[in-house]
């Protein structure tokens, strides 16, 4: 997953990358594993610039799903920072570019929430509920959005 050029570019554009290896960096693995409750490999944490965990990927994923999860975590950071336009753009990018991944329905949900958080206009929520009638109908995110219909 790491050599995928899309992953390499996304990580380079968005993160400072660090790694602790279970054997080669055993003391560091223990230290940061305790700090962030990481008890399995692979575990990838997306931390904001203050070192606060914003997203966690545990276990192997194929390239598209892995990239989508990285993008989802980065979008959640913008959301947590109240950067609503940037968050919406990032969530929608996942749905547009990686629509068949598990992250896509979650991204569609939050892409509807971000503009609502900015404007308090519920139309984006209603629009999102409608969108879930056409795609990702069986996902848990479609159930969560159904209240907005």
* Sequence-separated contacts (24+) of 81-84 with Cβ below 8 Å: 81/48, 82/117, 84/114, 84/115, 84/117, 84/118
H/E element holding 44? strand 43-47
At closest approach, how far in Å is the CB of 86 from another protein?
Answer: 13
The secondary structure of residue 51, as a DSSP letter, is: S
d(CA 128, CA 117): 14
At closest approach, how far in Å is the CB of 61 from another protein?
Answer: 13
Question: Which positions from 55 through 114 interact with another protein, judged by CB under 8 A?
Answer: 70, 74, 77
Q: Does 146 bind another protein (CB under 8 A)?
A: no
Q: Does 43 bind another protein (CB under 8 A)?
A: yes
In the complex, the residues that contact another protein under the rule CB under 8 A are: 2-3, 5, 7-8, 11-12, 14-25, 28-29, 32-33, 36, 38, 40-51, 54, 70, 74, 77
């Amino acid at each position: 997953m790491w050599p995928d050029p899309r992953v390499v570019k996304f990580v380079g554009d968005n993160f400072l990358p660090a790694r602790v290896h279970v054997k080669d960096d055993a003391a560091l693995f223990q230290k940061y594993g305790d700090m962030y409750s990481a008890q399995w490999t692979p575990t990838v944490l997306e931390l904001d610039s203050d070192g606060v965990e914003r997203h966690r990927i545990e276990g192997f994923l194929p390239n598209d799903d892995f990239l989508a999860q990285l993008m989802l975590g980065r979008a959640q950071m913008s959301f947590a920072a109240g950067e609503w336009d940037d968050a919406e753009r990032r969530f929608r990018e996942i749905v547009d570019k990686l629509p068949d991944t598990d992250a896509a329905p979650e991204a569609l949900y939050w892409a509807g929430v971000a503009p609502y958080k900015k404007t308090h206009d519920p139309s984006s929520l209603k629009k999102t509920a409608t969108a879930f009638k056409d795609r990702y109908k069986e996902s848990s995110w479609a159930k969560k959005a159904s209240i907005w219909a």
